[in-house]
């Protein structure tokens, strides 16, 4: 039944830094997820009003994993986990996760970066702090929940082989050196599923017009790395989880950071495109002209 060969996928990730697993999640499951999140992606989150957290030109679904077992099942997909655990040579857990919509923007620009790092929230300075860990090895997956024409994820082919030598998070200053190795996932249909070694240099391609891009993102980290973001589940789903799913979701463990992003109170007052972002105030992996 399975059209994926695990060894082939592992070889591709080892060689290029990424592989295409499109088809791993059925169109029906994707439609169900879209149906369940739709009302929440249209209103800001506020206690009983379940919705999104706004950050610049993006909307992040609050309490992402609570919307349906179908979402948990993507994050804990057996084939995905088998690939992640073989690649990391360890058991893995979900350290970062999100469903988000990105609106085209004149002033939002994600910089070239890697994600083999520890995120922690500094409560005193109200900012996320990042520490690059060259020894950290795991996978991120990105699945499109909408058709994507522009603004897709971009990966620097093979960069996982040399990025760890630099011990830095941002690679914008080296763009000229890797420009010819950039692979862009534009003009891809809903359901496109890319998995990459998170030491592969990447970003979302900046784009100024066109369609909203909705994506699902998950970072699977080896057990030697910290737990990561808090995971809040709906009691409806808990009794249906397997022991393996509980391990991936770090049952019984304390989170080691907060959910990204913290959000912006202006979400209630201004349309998503024009709210002054707090990107520039936070030391994050994104940059903006604000």
Please identify the residue of the shown chain whose CB is closest to the bound ligand AKG.
Answer: 204
**CB closer to ligand AKG, 115 vs 264:** 115
Q: How far is the CB of 290 from ligand AKG (least distance, A)?
A: 19
Residue 160 within binding range of ligand AKG, rule CB under 6 A: no
Smallest separation, CB 5 to ligand AKG (Å): 26
- By C-beta, is 59 or 202 nearer to ligand AKG? 202
In angstroms, the CA 134 to CA 249 distance is 24
Q: Two tokens at 150?
A: 């522009």
**Hey, which residues between 178 and 217 contact ligand AKG (CB under 6 A)?**
202, 204, 215, 217
Query: Which residues of the shown chain bind Fe ion in the complex (CB under 5 A)?
Result: 115
Q: Which of 178, 230, 228, 226 is nearest to 17 (CA)?
A: 178
Which H or E run contains 170?
none
How many residues bind ligand AKG, per CB under 6 A? Answer: 7
Two tokens at 45? 């989150």
Q: How far is CA 81 from CA 54, 71, 157, 160, 274, in A?
A: 30, 15, 23, 20, 39
Q: Does 264 bind ligand AKG (CB under 6 A)?
A: no
Question: 216-255 mask for ligand AKG (x: CB under 6 A)?
Answer: -x--------------------------------------
What would the 3-class secondary structure string for 93-119 be? Answer: EEEEEEEEEECCCCCEEECCECCCEEE
Q: Are 14 and 196 in contact (CB under 8 A)?
A: no
* 153, interface contact from ligand AKG, Fe ion, none, CB < 5-8 Å by kind: ligand AKG
Query: Which of the choices ligand AKG, Fe ion, none does residue 277 contact, using the CB cut-off of 5 to 8 A by kind?
Result: none
Question: Of 157, 24, 154, which Cα lies nearest the Cα of 84?
Answer: 24
Residue with tokens 């309490």: 63
Interacting residue ranges for ligand AKG, rule: CB under 6 A:
115, 142, 153, 202, 204, 215, 217
């Amino acid at each position: 039944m399975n059209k994926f060969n695990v060894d082939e996928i592992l070889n591709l990730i080892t060689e290029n830094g990424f592989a295409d697993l499109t088809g791993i999640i059925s169109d029906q499951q994707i439609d169900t997820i879209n149906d369940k999140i739709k009302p929440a992606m249209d209103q800001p989150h506020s206690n009983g009003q379940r919705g999104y957290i706004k950050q610049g030109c993006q909307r992040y679904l609050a309490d992402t994993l609570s919307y349906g077992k179908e979402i948990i099942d993507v994050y804990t997909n057996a084939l995905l986990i088998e690939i992640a655990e073989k690649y990391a040579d360890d058991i893995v857990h979900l350290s970062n996760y999100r469903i988000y919509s990105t609106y085209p923007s004149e002033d939002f620009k994600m910089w070239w970066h890697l994600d083999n790092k520890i995120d922690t929230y500094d409560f005193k300075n109200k900012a996320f702090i990042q520490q690059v860990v060259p020894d950290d090895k795991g996978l991120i997956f990105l699945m499109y929940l909408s058709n994507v024409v522009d603004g897709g994820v971009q990966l620097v082919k093979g960069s996982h082989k040399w990025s760890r030598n630099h011990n830095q998070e941002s690679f914008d200053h080296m763009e000229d050196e890797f420009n010819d190795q950039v692979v862009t996932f534009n003009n891809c249909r809903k359901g496109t599923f890319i998995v990459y070694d998170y030491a592969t240099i990447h970003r979302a391609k900046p784009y100024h017009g066109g369609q909203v891009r909705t994506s699902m993102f998950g970072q699977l980290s080896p057990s030697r790395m910290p737990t990561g973001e808090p995971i809040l589940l709906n009691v409806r789903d808990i009794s249906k989880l397997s022991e393996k799913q509980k391990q991936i979701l770090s049952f019984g463990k304390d989170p080691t950071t907060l959910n990204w992003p913290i959000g912006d109170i202006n979400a209630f007052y201004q349309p998503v495109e024009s709210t002054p972002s707090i990107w520039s105030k936070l030391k994050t992996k994104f940059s903006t002209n604000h």
